[in-house]
Amino acid sequence: MRFVRDDEVASAIPMREVIDAVERGFALYSLRRVRMPQRVRTDVPEHNGAILLMPCLVPELEVYSVKYVTVYPDNPSRGLPTIFAALLISDPRTGEPKVLAEARAATGLRTGAATAVSIKHLARRDAENLGIIGCGYQARWQLRAAAEVMRCSAVRAYDVVRQRAEELASEASRELGLEVRVSDTAEEVVRRSDVVITATTSRTPFVKKQWVRPGTHFSAIGAFTPDMAELEAELVASSKVYVDSLEAAKEEAGDIIQAVAKGLMRWEDVRAEIGEVVAGLKKGRENDEEVTVFKSVGIAVQDAAVAALILRHLGE
């Protein structure tokens, strides 16, 4: 079995390929052509952490992968990343483990790709102002992915810790040639963006409906438990909402769970899984006025899609 480091994944796997692979993975998932048990979460409340196990078999890609991923929001104050991850990739024809890969970069790649797929199908065609709220590790990959699928004539970033937004801005200028302006408030980012990505560890919703212009697209990737949310319930309930997996969203997507609990919307109001839109079964954006929300909690088929690319580029 080969061991693959994060830096190898980051340099060998092009974001463009990940976007295509994740797009196809979402479609296969929604067409029920993958075998993906719900992820298993073990809470570690004494350390404000969670440990997740995410298995998925994709027969058409001849890949099985299981990701171990941890989320410890207090880690940055200890000088450690919020997320650690490892991906075990095996050959489903024999069950033989082929690769054990560090998977922070793989997680960044596939989560960025999910946002890119949502922008492709749900953002306005003329969207060119990008906003990002939450400027941690995922934000790097989110920007990289969004820049693959939309013209970013202006990019604005906000983080409760201003220095994180400033670091993201200088990194984006150096590595992606993107000029990122640091905003003083989340409100400014939302008011001036056509596409808004939220990638925070916030437990309480902070994006208000009254800030939102018609035609805005949101990709909310941060919250992954019922008691976490980034978008206020009124905004979610008044938007066209798409998810990565309806089954997973009902368990984990705090932004929607809270809107439903408040009686502002029903689960039937969720328009579609993004894979249904990719597969042509359901409609994406229908006009330039509607506000669209893609709520992603992250599903194992995205990791399996990257796993197939890791096997192809780094397997031997």
Q: Which residues bind ligand NAD (CB under 6 A)?
A: 71, 76, 82-83, 107, 111, 133-139, 158-161, 164, 186, 199-202, 206, 221-222, 224, 296-298
Is 67 designated active site? yes
Q: For every residue of 217-238, which 3-state class applies, written as one string?
A: EEEECCCCCCCCCCECHHHHHC
Cα 10 to its chain centre, rounded Å, is: 17
Could you tell me the smallest distance in angstroms from the CB atom of residue 101 to ligand NAD?
Answer: 16
Could you tell me the smallest distance in angstroms from the CB atom of residue 221 to ligand NAD?
Answer: 4
Nearer to ligand NAD, 200 or 258 (CB): 200
Is residue 25 within 8 A of residue 301, CB to CB? The reply is yes
Strands 217-220 and 292-295: parallel
Nearer to ligand NAD, 118 or 200 (CB): 200
Tell me the longest C-alpha to C-alpha distance in the chain.
Answer: 55
Bridge partner list, 101: 4, 87
- Minimal CB distance residue for ligand NAD: 136
Sign of the CA dihedral 22, 24, 28, 34? negative
Could you tell me the smallest distance in angstroms from the CB atom of residue 241 to ligand NAD?
Answer: 15
Nearer to ligand NAD, 1 or 44 (CB): 44
Among 67, 98, 240, 295, the one annotated catalytic: 67
Could you tell me the smallest distance in angstroms from the CB atom of residue 223 to ligand NAD?
Answer: 7
Could you tell me the smallest distance in angstroms from the CB atom of residue 289 to ligand NAD?
Answer: 27
DSSP string over 10-42: HHHS-HHHHHHHHHHHHHHHHTT-SB-PPPEEE
Q: How far apart are CA 251 and CA 107, in angstroms?
A: 20
Question: Helix H segments across 150-245?
Answer: 162-176, 186-191, 233-237
Nearer to ligand NAD, 12 or 51 (CB): 51
Nearer to ligand NAD, 139 or 150 (CB): 139
Catalytically active residues, by annotation = 67
